[in-house]
C-alpha cells in the first residue's frame, strides 16, 4: 500500500546537537511538507517542496533545514539554532495545487 513513512517514531537528543528526521513517500506525489505540532497550536508549516531540488520556507523555518534530492524523500534537519525543538513533527504530501494532504504518523522529538 502507498503511504508516507516517518522514522523514527521517537527521537531523543541532547541540546546543541543537530538531528535529521526522515520522511519517505511512495505515492508518487510531487509536493511534500513538514509541519510542527505543539499542544493547542495546531500544525505550523516549517518547509514545503513542490518539485525536486526546490523548496520554500513556511511560517516557522528558522532553525530548520531541508533537502529534496529525490521525489520520494524530504528529510528535515533540526539544527542547534532551533530554540525550542521538542515537538511532534509531521510530514505530508499531495499531488500539488489544492489536493488533500496525506500524512505520515509523525516523529516525536525530545531535546533535553
Per DSSP, the residues of 40-84 read TS-EEEEEEEEETTEEEE-TT-TTEEE--SBTTB--EEE-TT-S-
Distances (CA, A) of 79 to 18, 26, 35, 97: 4, 27, 16, 30
# binding residues, other proteins (CB under 8 A): 26
Applying CB under 8 A, among 31, 32, 78, 109 the residue interacting with other proteins is 31
CB of 105 to other proteins, least distance (A): 5
Residues numbered 78-97 forming contacts with other proteins, rule: CB under 8 A: 90, 92, 96-97
Applying CB under 8 A, among 22, 50, 80, 86 the residue interacting with other proteins is 50
Q: Does 58 bind other proteins (CB under 8 A)?
A: yes
Applying CB under 8 A, among 35, 68, 85, 109 the residue interacting with other proteins is 35
Amino acid at each position: 500500500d502507498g503511504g508516507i513513512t516517518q522514522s523514527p517514531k521517537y527521537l531523543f537528543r541532547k541540546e546543541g546537537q543537530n538531528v535529521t528526521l526522515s520522511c519517505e513517500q511512495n505515492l508518487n506525489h510531487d509536493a511534500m511538507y513538514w509541519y510542527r505540532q505543539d499542544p493547542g497550536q495546531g500544525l505550523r508549516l516549517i518547509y514545503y517542496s513542490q518539485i525536486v531540488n526546490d523548496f520554500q520556507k513556511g511560517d516557522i523555518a528558522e532553525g530548520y533545514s531541508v533537502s529534496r534530492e529525490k521525489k520520494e524523500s524530504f528529510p528535515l534537519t533540526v539544527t542547534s539554532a532551533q530554540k525550542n525543538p521538542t515537538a511532534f513533527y509531521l510530514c505530508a504530501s499531495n499531488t500539488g495545487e489544492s489536493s488533500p494532504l496525506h500524512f505520515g504518523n509523525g516523529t516525536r522529538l525530545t531535546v533535553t
